[in-house]
């Protein structure tokens, strides 16, 4: 122990760590004072704990794929009860921290409110599993490269992102938006797919390949919609109030109706509607609504040749 302390001390001297830590401490105190005032610092949610509980919830939803390999039909239920209990206890604590952070005056009520949110969330897990089964089937049916449903569950980044979105969206709707955002960013980091937890996505949703897909907060997606890589469902502009501050939560992202396909690189912006059964081609830039059954593609290059002064 003494040798370890000496080594730390020598390192601190070599890099002037004490001065750096002191300067960082002053900056940290100033930042905390601006955010929280002069009172006791609130507890923050833990991203590391949320990573763990998301893994537990994923295993609860699909234990044969993401649970321990030694599970048998006889041991699965007991494993699920233990894992779900652990995940929900951790979720309660993280929600409690979020609630207390945003409303310090109601910190005493936060444990009860967090437990109620977690209870409602748990009750909705069978519904989430039913939706996900349809998403997984859509991925299998929509990709000729898919050899089995198990391959889709294990290997498809779009499915991984949608599993986490189904979890995050429920928490977002129940009143835990920060925890939901953290879960969404965990999925984003793992898959390259950025889905805001506020986005409303119906059954049978498939993101093929997926890298670079962005789906904004107020997006509404219907049944059996398919997206390819690098698709953006974004906002065209941001409304501001009389002070110039951004207005939060206003509908500003597309509505994509049932059975729409949007191909790679397409950018769809604003509160517009893509009609049922439409096809949006690759690299299209779209900022206006289109009726059901539309087939939108890029304009083709048009070349004319002028001989002997023609066209002048």
How high is the pLDDT of residue 304? Answer: 58
Which structure tokens are listed for 148?
A: 């089995």
CATH classification at residue 179: 1.10.3130.10
Q: Tell me: pLDDT of 5 over 70.
A: no
Locate the DSSP E strands across the chain: 194-195, 200-201, 206-207, 214-215, 220-221, 226-227, 232-234, 255-256, 261-262, 267-269, 273-274, 279-280, 285-286, 295-296
Specify the pTM.
0.89
Whether residue 207 is found in the same domain as residue 233: yes
Whether residue 209 is found in the same domain as residue 186: no
Asked if 76 and 63 touch (Cβ cutoff 8 Å), the reply is: yes
Asked if residue 144 belongs to a domain, the reply is yes
Split at pLDDT 50, 70, 90, the class of 52 is: very high
Question: What residue numbers bound the domain in which 295 lies?
Answer: 199-312
Whether residue 68 is found in the same domain as residue 174: yes
Asked if residue 242 belongs to a domain, the reply is yes
How high is the pLDDT of residue 74? Answer: 96
Q: What is the rounded CA–CA span in Å between residue 14 and residue 22?
A: 16
* Mean pLDDT confidence for 250-254: 95
Domain boundary among 159, 194, 229: 194
Whether residue 62 is found in the same domain as residue 182: yes
Q: What is the rounded CA–CA span in Å between residue 250 and residue 177?
A: 16
* Mean pLDDT confidence for 175-196: 98
Rg, the chain, Cα only = 25
Q: Tell me: pLDDT of 311 over 50.
A: no
Angle (CA) 293-295-296 rounded to 5° is 135
Whether residue 207 is found in the same domain as residue 112: no
Domain boundary among 127, 162, 194: 194
pLDDT in tens, 74-131: 999 999 999 999 999 999 999 999 999 988 777 889 999 999 999 999 999 999 999 9
Split at pLDDT 50, 70, 90, the class of 259 is: very high
Domain boundary among 148, 167, 194: 194
How high is the pLDDT of residue 246? Answer: 84
pLDDT in tens, 62-74: 999 999 999 999 9
């Amino acid at each position: 122990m003494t040798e370890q302390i000496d080594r730390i001390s020598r390192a601190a001297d070599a890099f002037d760590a004490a001065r750096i830590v002191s300067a960082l401490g002053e900056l940290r105190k100033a930042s905390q004072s601006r955010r929280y005032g002069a009172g006791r610092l609130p507890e923050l949610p833990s991203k590391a704990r949320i990573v763990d509980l998301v893994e537990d919830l994923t295993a609860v939803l699909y234990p044969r794929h993401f649970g321990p390999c030694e599970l048998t039909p006889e041991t699965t239920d007991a494993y699920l009860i233990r894992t779900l209990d652990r995940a929900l206890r951790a979720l309660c604590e993280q929600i409690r921290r979020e609630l207390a952070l945003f409303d310090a005056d109601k910190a005493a009520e936060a444990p009860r409110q967090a437990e109620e949110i977690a209870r409602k969330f748990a009750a909705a897990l069978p519904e989430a599993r039913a939706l996900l089964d349809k998403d997984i089937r859509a991925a299998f049916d929509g990709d000729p490269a898919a050899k089995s449903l198990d391959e889709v569950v294990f290997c498809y980044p779009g499915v991984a992102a949608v599993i986490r979105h189904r979890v995050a969206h429920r928490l977002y709707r129940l009143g835990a938006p920060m925890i939901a955002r953290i879960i969404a960013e965990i999925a984003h980091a793992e898959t390259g797919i950025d889905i805001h937890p506020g986005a409303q996505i119906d059954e049978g949703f498939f993101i093929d390949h997926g890298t670079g897909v962005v789906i904004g907060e107020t997006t509404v997606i219907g049944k059996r919609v398919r997206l390819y890589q690098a698709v953006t469902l974004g906002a065209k502009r941001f409304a501001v109030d009389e002070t110039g501050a951004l207005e939060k939560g206003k509908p500003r992202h597309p509505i994509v109706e049932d059975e729409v396909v949007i191909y790679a690189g397409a950018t769809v912006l604003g509160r517009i509607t893509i009609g049922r059964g439409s096809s949006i081609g690759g690299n299209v830039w779209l900022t206006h609504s289109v009726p059901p059954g539309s087939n939108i593609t890029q304009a083709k290059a048009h070349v004319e040749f002028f001989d002997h002064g023609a066209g002048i």
